[in-house]
Amino acid sequence: MVTSDFQRARRPEHKEQRREAILAAARLLATRDGVRSVTLGDIAGEVGVHKSALLRYFETREEIYLHLTAAGWRDWAAALHTALDGATGASTAEVAGTLAQSLHERPLFCDLLAHAPMTLERHVSLESVRAFKLSALDAVEDIAALLARVLPGLDSVSGRNVVATVTSLGATLWQASHPPDTLAQLYREDPRLGHAVVDFTPRLRLLTEAVLVGLLASADDA
């Protein structure tokens, strides 16, 4: 049933439905199993079609996840607007808490942030990576401007630097706090590795606040 419906799609709105179904399946599997472990075959199986049918809608597995990364940027920007639009004059602690909590609530986006530069951007066409970069940069600019409005003294250049730092740390700390099975076993068994265990949200909040305070202090000096 799913298969024949899927393959009969000819009208533009049906094609868009098929694309959405593929993206939804890819999102479900990566949220459950991690981005690295999902293959194009897994996504096709979840949608209920053959792999070749997917390739009429997306170039590669990586293009599918690059679309989800771009969607993740838009979703994150929207969530930050909801939390911070009325928060002009908020403290650095409050803004750092909002940034860290919003990434804590978006584990798939954190996973994708690590995979985008390492693998996803490298296995798609020039036009796909252009579309992704323009979409992600729009979100970065939007969030940078929001942060500059909420924290007087922070300019939009510093706002972009905050976004770069928070997403770099979010990606790194998320991977560190979701180790492979061998490492998870080591962390449980070997007390010498206690410091390697990362508590994602408090650490991200602490370091985000430090960057905000440090960038505001250098703005004061200028």
Q: Which residues bind a second copy (CB under 8 A)?
A: 36, 114-115, 117-118, 121-122, 124-126, 129-130, 133-134, 137, 140-141, 160-161, 164-165, 168-169, 171-173, 175-176, 179-180, 182-183, 185-186, 190, 192-193, 195-196, 203, 206-207, 209-215, 217-218
**Residues 6+ away with beta carbon under 8 Å from 73:** 109, 135, 136, 138, 139, 140
CA neighbor of 49 nearest in space, from 24, 18, 20, 27: 18
| Straight-line distance from the first to the last Cα atom of the chain, in angstroms, rounded to the nearest whole number | 65
Q: Determine how many CB atoms are found less than 10 A away from the CB of residue 195.
A: 6
Quick one: 49 or 204, whose CB is closer to a second copy?
A: 204
Task: State which amino acid sits at residue 76.
Answer: W
Q: How far is CA 161 from CA 22, 151, 208, 211, in A?
A: 34, 14, 11, 9
Cα–Cα distance measured from residue 105 to residue 201, given in angstroms and rounded to the nearest whole number: 10
Q: Determine how many CB atoms are found less than 10 A away from the CB of residue 65.
A: 28
- Among all chains, which residue has been given the structure tokens 């799609």? 9
- Among all chains, which residue has been given the structure tokens 């002009």? 88
Q: Determine how many CB atoms are found less than 10 A away from the CB of residue 31.
A: 14
What tokens does 74 get?
Answer: 């838009």
- Which DSSP symbol is given to 119? T
